[in-house]
Structure 1
Amino acid sequence: MKSHSRLRTVDLTYLGLFAALMAICAWISVPMPAPLVPFTLQTFAIFAAVTTLGGRRGTYAVGVYLLLGLVGLPVFAGFRSGPGTLLGTTGGYILGFFVCAVVYWLVTAWLGESLWAVFLGGTLGLAACYAFGTAWFLLLYIRTTGPMSLGAALGMCVVPYVLPDLCKLALAVLVSRQVRPHLR
């Protein structure tokens, strides 16, 4: 009898593959002037993981990705890694990927995996990532550099990325709908 709470070897393989995809997508980056968050394809990979693997396994893949970066593998944008990256002003957005995946998992666990529920889960997850990352950014920026308003932080770190990130969500959903039937 197969237990649904245990991860099988094939599940672990998928977690590793999607963690690698996240790293590759992080390396595809358009640098922005400091302290702005670089424009990357990481959010596409996060959405691809949760929409293809499902909320639980996708969240685990994001966790694996974050752990790889934490221990020093250069998996973050600009080939960065380590606790210094995660604890820096833009680290909240990287940690927010996990929040995004958890929110997606909760929404789809509650509403199912219909197309509208997947988009709702992804959109709410993205909003949670933005909220977590912006709060982190503001806290550290104010402590290290000086005062900044919430509006200024949103203008620098969220507004320029909303439309591209929603496009990445749509692309990830399209790709996952094609790939998912072929997974064991």
Structure 2
Amino acid sequence: MSSASASSTAPLPRPGEVLADLLPASRVREVALVAAGVAVMALLAQVVVPVPGSPVPITGQTLGLVLVATTLGPARSVTVMGLYIAAALVGLPFYSEASGGYEVVVGATGGYVLGFLPAAYLIGRAARLGADRHFLKALPLFVAGQLVVFAVGVPWLALTTGMDAAAAVAAGFTPFLLGGAVKAFVAAAVVPGIWRTLGR
């Protein structure tokens, strides 16, 4: 088959689509996509870098959040995050360092994971509008999505630990700025690159 004919049969992106929509539609697809999203979150949660003086470690979870939300869109990704939280609530070791259980979910880091819900909707909705297809649009979107997580997580951290606002920001926000920027940059380079490949 020539390159021209191969290109003509490639799945071309249309407005309102996310990457997952390019797969053949079926009920099995929907279940598989959500299950895969939960698995991605659980796996990237095991990438852990402790932060001295903070109960909140650096993990791969927010990278997982960005990738899942932009790939699956708002409805599926919010479902993924809800199931991810529910799985940990019943004791599955899906959080960092293979942890889980009620105490972990409502503990000091619980607000960050709760923040995955609105962040997933924001990123997924913007992806449906095409914001994930170009680096210069995707990068600020992915940064904003992570800021939503911190907007929920830092006050929760203060509430559960008794820290004042300044201490909570110092322990639960400032140490994560560089890592968050790197994750946003990586995702903003990878996802538009996938769209370009499919477009060709």
Measured against the shorter chain, the TM-score band is: 0.7 to 0.9
> Is the alpha carbon distance of 1:80 and 1:48 closer, same or farther for their aligned partners in structure 2, counting shifts above 3 Å?
same
Matches within 5 A, 1:135-150: 135-142=155-162, 148-150=163-165
| Residue 126 of structure 1: aligned partner | 146
How far off its partner does 1:106 sit?
4.2
Count residues with an aligned counterpart: 172
Question: Contact 2:71–2:124 at 8 Å: present in 1 too?
Answer: no
> Is the alpha carbon distance of 1:141 and 1:50 closer, same or farther for their aligned partners in structure 2, counting shifts above 3 Å?
same
SS of residue in 1 equivalent to 2:115: helix
Are 1:75 and 2:90 counterparts? no
Instruction: Identify which of 30, 46, 66 aligns with 2:85.
Output: 66
Letter in structure 2 aligned against 1:70 = L
How far off its partner does 1:9 sit?
1.3
SS of residue in 2 equivalent to 1:27: coil
The alignment's C-alpha RMSD in Å is 2.4
How far off its partner does 1:176 sit?
2.8
Deviations 1:134-177 (A, max 9, x none): 111111111xxxxx332221111111111211211221233333
SS of residue in 2 equivalent to 1:32: coil
Deviations 1:14-40 (A, max 9, x none): 211121111111111122346431111
Unaligned runs of 5+ in 1: 143-147
> Is the alpha carbon distance of 1:105 and 1:7 closer, same or farther for their aligned partners in structure 2, counting shifts above 3 Å?
farther
| Aligned mates of 2:159, 2:29 — CA distance in 1 | 40
Are 1:15 and 2:40 counterparts? no
Question: Contact 2:74–2:121 at 8 Å: present in 1 too?
Answer: yes
| Residue 98 of structure 1: aligned partner | 117
Instruction: Identify which of 159, 166, 174 aligns with 2:181.
Output: 166
Letter in structure 2 aligned against 1:164 = G
Question: Contact 2:69–2:77 at 8 Å: present in 1 too?
Answer: yes
Structure-2-length-normalised TM-score: 0.75
> Is the alpha carbon distance of 1:128 and 1:91 closer, same or farther for their aligned partners in structure 2, counting shifts above 3 Å?
same
| Aligned mates of 1:89, 1:51 — CA distance in 2 | 27
**Range that drifts further, 71-80 or 30-39:** 30-39
| Aligned mates of 1:88, 1:153 — CA distance in 2 | 14
| Aligned mates of 2:53, 2:100 — CA distance in 1 | 17
Deviations 1:71-97 (A, max 9, x none): 211010011112211111111112112
Percentage of identical aligned residues: 29
Report the structure number with the largest CA radius of gyration.
Answer: 2
Are 1:32 and 2:51 counterparts? yes
Question: Contact 2:49–2:59 at 8 Å: present in 1 too?
Answer: yes
Question: Contact 1:32–1:38 at 8 Å: present in 2 too?
Answer: yes
